[in-house]
Amino acid sequence: MYPSVTRWKTRLRTTALSLLAVVAAVGVGAGPALAADGNVAWTVRTASNGYGEARSSYSYNVNPGGAVEDAMVVANRGPAPLTLAVYAADGFTTDAGQLDLLTKDTRSVAIGAWVKATASSVVVQPGKTAQVPFTVRVPENATPGDYVGGILTTLTQADQAEGINVDRRLGIRIKLRVGGELKPNLAIENLHVTYDGPTNPFSKGDATVTYQVHNVGNAALSGEQAVTVSGPFGLLRVRATDVAAPPELLPGESWNVSVPLHGVAPAVALAATATVTPLLTDASGSTTSLKPVQATAHGWALPWTLVLLLVVLVAVLVGAYLYRRRDRAQRKAREDARVRDAVAQALRGPEPQTS
């Protein structure tokens, strides 16, 4: 595994977040994470101690006010001594669904603030390893629930050719559950459904259902998703297939979901229903399914070609009705005028004869 790279121009500060090479986050087994670039190469792994051996990441359950001590092992695989900075940072889920950590110049408020290494840097000789002890100290007023972050080693090197500095980071994930009442909960927000029908008014079209999965609880959660659309009274129901699960969301995080459904009948009125079953993972790796959450939204599924034909037909009928009504009115007006003329003629009597 290779470290992520953050670049910035010399003497200019960047706010861009680099990706994190985290053993657990990328699914690597118990082996070390490796950073290599030319003659510089190093690995990081968890120390073997009372918490376990060959762990892929750190995982703790600590009550408010409590503390744990652990260590990270750094190995220098290069031919020269290596000096690495060491720090901890809070984690977050990227738009790609991967775990990343805040950069060193971004303020952390949880893991990054509670984890302290015994030294801010470590020097590792070629072919040797060094342990970096650290302490996780949870404040008395910490809110119960899940927190994710990591402890990192970093190396900054100047790239003279491009006039930039390259910051390479390699670290290991830390998952912490602070003791207290656990309230796992997901919410479905901003649910919408749109419909795209074919030109043939009697053919089926496509619907798209969009929404956000929001972790409104205090536990890290993933979930299983199901999406359906139906016409009035639940008729003509279509179920989406293979709806991808969201990544494990940290408390407060949201994930945008867009689900296409094919073969949807233009039933005029559509009802879209999204169901998410939260999945809670404990420290042993066991997953528990929680009570599903559900939301429904409504939209239109109009066969526009047929609607246009109906509009044209109605316009023709209305035009014909108005024409006939005007024609009848004109005929009646002519007949009334003829009758008036006849009456007036009768009242005047015959015209006198002239000799």
H or E, element range at 298? strand 293-301
pLDDT at residue number 21: 38
Residues of the chain with pLDDT under 50: 1-31
DSSP 3-state assignment of 12? coil
Instruction: Please give the single-letter amino acid code of residue 293.
Output: V
pLDDT at residue number 351: 64
175-206: per-residue pLDDT in tens? Answer: 999 999 999 999 999 999 999 987 776 789 99
Strand extents, DSSP E, 138-231: 145-159, 164-178, 186-196, 205-215, 221-230
Residue 311, classified by CB atoms within 10 Å of its CB into exposed (0-12), middle (13-18) or buried (19+), is exposed
pLDDT at residue number 166: 79
**Widest pairwise Cα distance in the chain:** 149
pLDDT at residue number 160: 64
Query: Of 179, 103, 104, nearest to 139 (Cα)?
Result: 179
89-126: per-residue pLDDT in tens? Answer: 999 999 999 999 999 899 999 999 999 999 999 999 99
Phi, psi of 346, rounded to the nearest 5 degrees: -65, -40
pTM value is 0.76
Phi, psi of 339, rounded to the nearest 5 degrees: -65, -40
H or E, element range at 61? strand 58-62
pLDDT at residue number 4: 39
pLDDT at residue number 283: 74
The alpha helices in the chain, defined as continuous H runs, are: 111-114, 304-348
pLDDT at residue number 40: 78
pLDDT at residue number 208: 97
